[in-house]
Amino acid sequence: MGAKIGVLALQGDVSEHLDAFKNAIRASGSDGAIHAVPVRRRQDIAGLDALAIPGGESTTISRLIDKNDLRTPLIGFDGGIFATCAGMVLMARTVDDPRVRPLGLMDFSVRRNAFGRQRESFEADVEITGLDGPFHAFFIRAPVADHAGPGVCVTGRIDEGIIALEAGRYMALSFHPELGNDPRLHIRFLKNCGLV
């Protein structure tokens, strides 16, 4: 059947991530060999090669992870994880908001809503290490990382802080790459996971 990528489907922009992965799979030439599926229950994680934790409301997603008994399977998941916006907050070791229980999967500290409220959301062309040109990024009540520990590679930064990090098969982004038509970061993630 090929590889399976799950998108954590508790809250947030789930359908956009499913579509973005389908587009990235087509663009990479692996159409039919990789499938993207929603993940709502702990048994949905079994058999996945990779998982996306989408943007949304990090306090809500954190609470729903515990309510749905997903914390232990997520922490123990040995596939790649692609995390955007709220997903980046959940991947962190420390968060500036006690209402969020991060998964602690990557060694960095993060500030939620680093740019302010919804009306301060913006778009910008940003430089990401390893991409052949700027990436058009959508920042929606976005976080930024303040510090990255050993083993975490900072791949994107703007004046306000760190916006892109990688560690092995983990990728954490403060923006929403799934909202544009540029598949490069999704493809890079698939390559980092050895899926294309």
Catalytically active residues are: 85, 176, 178
In angstroms, what CA-CA distances link 2 with 8, 47, 175? 20, 11, 29
92: which 2 tokens?
């962190």
Distance CA 122, CA 142 (A): 9
* Contact predicate 145/161, CB 8 Å: yes
* Pairing between β-strand 50-53 and β-strand 161-167 as defined by DSSP bridges: unpaired
* Contact predicate 93/107, CB 8 Å: yes
In angstroms, what CA-CA distances link 39 with 5, 163, 174, 177? 9, 26, 21, 20
